[in-house]
Chain A
């Protein structure tokens, strides 16, 4: 596709359930990011994948959060035992690498997660 796509666009779940959010990056982009946007706040960095390197997980808020990227393309963000504080828009972004530097991220439309 032409841009980053994410699914589902909206997810409503009950507290304590697990959820999986999917991201399809732009073809050819080697870097992939997950960010979280809580209501009225800026974006919080969660995790970064670049090629075959070990991911940077420094932004994950707890061990209930995990992410994987299969085949250097599609990524899944998993939240286990969801809490109401996890309610937010989860944004995925991807970027290319040129001249040894990662370019600016292109963002997907996000998944709006509501935990009841």
Chain B
């Protein structure tokens, strides 16, 4: 079984500043990793995913994440945020032989002008 820890529950950030959302996971097997975003009053959307290959993954809206196997981390970054990035962000992991996603508790990002 896997578990996911998102280290920050709330991240306030000014517009055009960089942001990093931290995610650590625990698993005894190889995993796939995901970041989902939930905009206010909307459903979850996939931002990016790591399946294999390059450990630096680029997603939509200028986000990227880096898989670090030794540190069991998958931190999400964006070099310059916009007001429209205000949302809740979820990190998730699945076993490569399974289909169920285990989610972190979420990080709420609030971007201020």
- Chain B residues with Cβ below 8 Å from A50 are 99
Most chain-B CB neighbours within 10 Å: which of A50, A59, A104, A109?
A: A104
14 sample A-B contacts, Cβ–Cβ < 8 Å, listed by A number: A4-B43, A31-B99, A40-B105, A42-B103, A42-B104, A42-B105, A43-B92, A48-B100, A91-B44, A104-B34, A104-B46, A104-B101, A105-B101, A107-B43
Q: A110–B99 Cα gap in the complex (Å)?
A: 20
Residues 37-80 (chain A) with a chain B CB within 8 angstroms: 40-45, 48, 50, 56, 59
A35 to B44, CA, bound (A): 12
Q: How far is the CB of A70 from chain B (nearest CB, A)?
A: 21
Given A41-B106, A43-B92: 17 more A-B contacts, CB < 8 Å: A4-B43, A33-B100, A42-B4, A42-B90, A42-B103, A42-B106, A44-B103, A45-B101, A48-B100, A50-B99, A95-B99, A104-B46, A105-B101, A107-B36, A108-B43, A109-B42, A109-B43
Interface string of A101-114 (1 = CB under 8 A from B): 01011111110000
List of 3 A-B pairs having minimum Cβ-Cβ separation, nearest first: A42-B103, A107-B44, A43-B103
Give complex CA distance A106, B41 in Å: 16
Q: Which residues of A contact B42 (CB under 8 A)?
A: 109
What is the total number of residues of chain A having a CB less than 8 Å from a CB of chain B? 26
Report the minimum CB–CB distance from A61 to chain B (whole Å): 15
Closest A residue to B46 by beta carbon equals A104
Nearest-neighbour CB distance to chain A for B32, whole angstroms, equals: 8
Q: If the complex has contacts A41-B105, A42-B90, A42-B106, are A110 and B43 also in contact, measured as CB distance less than 8 A? A: yes
B binding-site residues for A, Cβ under 8 Å: 4, 6, 34, 36, 41-46, 49, 90, 92, 99-106
User: Which residues in A have their C-beta under 8 angstroms from that of B106?
Assistant: 41-42
Give Cα A106–Cα B43 distance, bound, in whole angstroms: 9
Interface of A is mostly: strand
**Residues of chain A within 8 A of B90, CB atoms compared:** 42-43
Is A48 a contact of B101 with CB atoms below 8 Å? Answer: no
Inter-chain CA distance A45–B92, complex, in Å, is: 12
A22 to B19, CA, bound (A): 37
Chain A contacts of B46 at CB under 8 A? 104, 106
